[in-house]
Structure 1
Amino acid sequence: MKTDPAILDKYAHLLVNYCVSLQPGERLFVNSTTLAEPLLDAIYREALKVGGHCEFTLATRGQAEALREYGSPEQAAYVPTLQERAMNEFEAYIYVSAPFNLREPEPAAELKAARRAAFKPMHDTYFARTADRRLKRTMCIFPTPALAAEAGMTEEEYADFVFRACKLDQPDPRAAWLAVRQRQQRVVDHLNSCTEFRYVNDRSDIRFTTKGRTWINSDGQTNMPSGEVYTSPEEDSVNGHIFFDYPAIRNGEEVRGVTLEVEHGEIQSWRAESGQRVLDETFEIPGTRRFGEAAIGTNYDIDRFSKQILFDEKIGGTVHMAVGQSYAQAGGKNESSVHWDMIANMRDGGRVYADGEVVYADGRFVDRLWQ
């Protein structure tokens, strides 16, 4: 996939100077695949320009297949040295998703279990250090043929979709994201003055409270693109039912028409129109039967579903909730190896109530909050 070098330079400048705000002497760890080489070259140049240090870990085509065919549980449990050190010590981290194949078969269950257990300490460190910005991180996408095919777009359409969502089509993307920050700050300031919330549409009615929790302004620094406001609800406060009409993707498998019934914070029953097995297996994993996130998407430049949660959870006119791991920076306490976002459409009659007042209707915040 050929991409305009000028766009990639703008992308790299945004990632290094805005998303992780790299400073002289700071260390930046970048994790991606060899498909993203044009963007990675631009990131390296930007890191040098600001006086930082940049190191890479790059996956190659065929690694996942080789591990499935030849790997042992001991090998699956090996934690890469540079990645472990970076999560513990570095100041900045950029994950560039650039997959070769989105339809890789799953590794054997024993390999998955060994890897999950071995990576847990690093996983916990990552969440702790990103919570207080000791590790400044961002996640982004480099357009690849596999991603375009998954989204049902041509490669050129998909690249345009990605770059527009990141505001790279604008003269000054950083200024555009600063404007998003300002607008969303009015929203989170109001939400943080409230403690009781309710999401309602024609198939959902779910409530939660946020005492001691914080709504966060996701303004493009921790994800690119962004455009959402989110929190971690009090773990035992969620009650009601919610239907997710967008497909939920987990480990490359699609689950459609998910309905969850919740009492006192615990998911009591679950059903899917398709993909029930994936739900059943997920809810066997510790921590997954409680919610780690409640959020509202605000990026109206993301105008279609792409099967990539980094984009889909931000779709303007939707809400999402995630089962599993909470956000420590929001005050969340639920722990899990899973954080799985599920999305509900709110454009046709949806309402969000805060302390009994409508603050969001038909896919948009009310005018006094969204100006």
Structure 2
Amino acid sequence: MDTRVRRHAEVLVDQCADVRRGDMVTIRASRQAEALVVALYEALGQRGARPSLSWSLPRATRAYARAMDEADYTTKDHELAAMEETDVVFLIGGGPNAFETSDVPPEMSQAGSRAHKPISEQRLDTRWVITTHPTAAGAQRAGMSTATYEEFVYDAVNKDWAAQSEFQSQLVEILDPAETVHIVSGDTTDITMRVDGMRACNDDGDHNMPAGEVFTAPVPDSVAGEVYFDKPLMRQGNEIRGAALTF
């Protein structure tokens, strides 16, 4: 097994989720992430956890959504019941085609999201982790060779997270007592917001891997200005470019 994959699994199990003996663990992954799933099972077995696996199959999701009647979308009670018994959730991206569900009608995607909402909210009560496995499809979207993309991902995952947390804490110390944040970027982004009373958070690998953010939230109704996003976003099989918001 690639030692980088095994290290990725160890980071997920120890750094992110702090898996303990007897934990009920749910893994949802694409078939292309099989190597990481195997490494996770090995690490979970060494720690005495109890995993279950469900494969993410975008082609099946597409077929179901295009055949479904919108009114028939209801919460899957058996999936909700399983989530209620789950201690840790690992969600692993890295599928073969990011655009697989791009031709699912938006109203069907929205109906599916509404039906899934109780399960998503229940997941927030677990020790949940979202990560990705580097695949050829991901490399293609990034405009990289597969080997270069693998190095890119593993360099972001397999690092000293204690040292990274300490490094990021410097920004937390600046942001936490702040009253106002003013962001200026390029010719289109100039936005201000109040953050007094809001907590600055150090994203050092609790829920996202790779991690590496320091974030907070604005005081409601305090945001003013315009922000432009020059990076694309994938959402439900669709690529969104040129998003802008004016407050």
TM-score (norm 1): 0.61
Evaluate the alpha carbon distance shift between residue 86 and residue 192 of structure 1 in structure 2; reply closer, same or farther with a 3 A threshold.
farther
Structure 1 partner of 2:137:
146
User: 1:227 Cα shift?
Assistant: 0.8
Question: For this pair of structures, how many residues does the alignment match?
Answer: 245
Compare relative contact order (CA 8 Å, sep 6+) and give the higher one, 1 or 2: 2
User: Does 2:57 correspond to 1:73?
Assistant: no
Q: Over aligned residues, Cα RMSD in angstroms?
A: 2.1
Aligned counterpart in structure 2 of residue 48 of structure 1, from 45, 51, 54:
45
Query: Mind listing any 5+ residue stretches in structure 2 that lack a counterpart?
Result: none
8 Å contact kept, 2:12–2:129: yes
Structure 2 partner of 1:201:
185
Where do 4+ consecutive residues of structure 1 move more than 4 Å? none
Structure 1 partner of 2:212:
227
User: Does 2:96 correspond to 1:91?
Assistant: no
Residue 62 of structure 1 aligns to a residue whose secondary structure is helix
Structure 2 partner of 1:313:
none
User: 1:213 Cα shift?
Assistant: 1.7
Structure 1 partner of 2:200:
215
CA distance in 1, matches of 2:72, 2:97: 22
Evaluate the alpha carbon distance shift between residue 162 and residue 207 of structure 1 in structure 2; reply closer, same or farther with a 3 A threshold.
same
8 Å contact kept, 2:177–2:196: no
Amino acid at match of 1:196: T
CA distance in 1, matches of 2:92, 2:59: 18
8 Å contact kept, 2:229–2:243: yes
Evaluate the alpha carbon distance shift between residue 85 and residue 178 of structure 1 in structure 2; reply closer, same or farther with a 3 A threshold.
farther
Query: Mind listing any 5+ residue stretches in structure 1 that lack a counterpart?
Result: 130-134, 263-371
User: Does 2:241 correspond to 1:250?
Assistant: no
8 Å contact kept, 1:205–1:241: yes
CA distance in 1, matches of 2:66, 2:183: 46
8 Å contact kept, 2:75–2:115: yes
User: Does 2:207 correspond to 1:241?
Assistant: no
More helix, by proportion: 2
CA distance in 2, matches of 1:136, 1:159: 26
Superposed, 1:3-14 pairs within 5 Å as 5-14=2-11
8 Å contact kept, 1:76–1:112: no
CA distance in 2, matches of 1:234, 1:88: 33
Evaluate the alpha carbon distance shift between residue 222 and residue 232 of structure 1 in structure 2; reply closer, same or farther with a 3 A threshold.
same
Evaluate the alpha carbon distance shift between residue 106 and residue 81 of structure 1 in structure 2; reply closer, same or farther with a 3 A threshold.
farther
8 Å contact kept, 2:98–2:234: no
Evaluate the alpha carbon distance shift between residue 65 and residue 119 of structure 1 in structure 2; reply closer, same or farther with a 3 A threshold.
closer
Residue 130 of structure 2 aligns to a residue whose secondary structure is strand
Percent pairwise identity: 27
TM-score (norm 2): 0.89
User: Does 2:176 correspond to 1:192?
Assistant: yes
Amino acid at match of 1:151: A
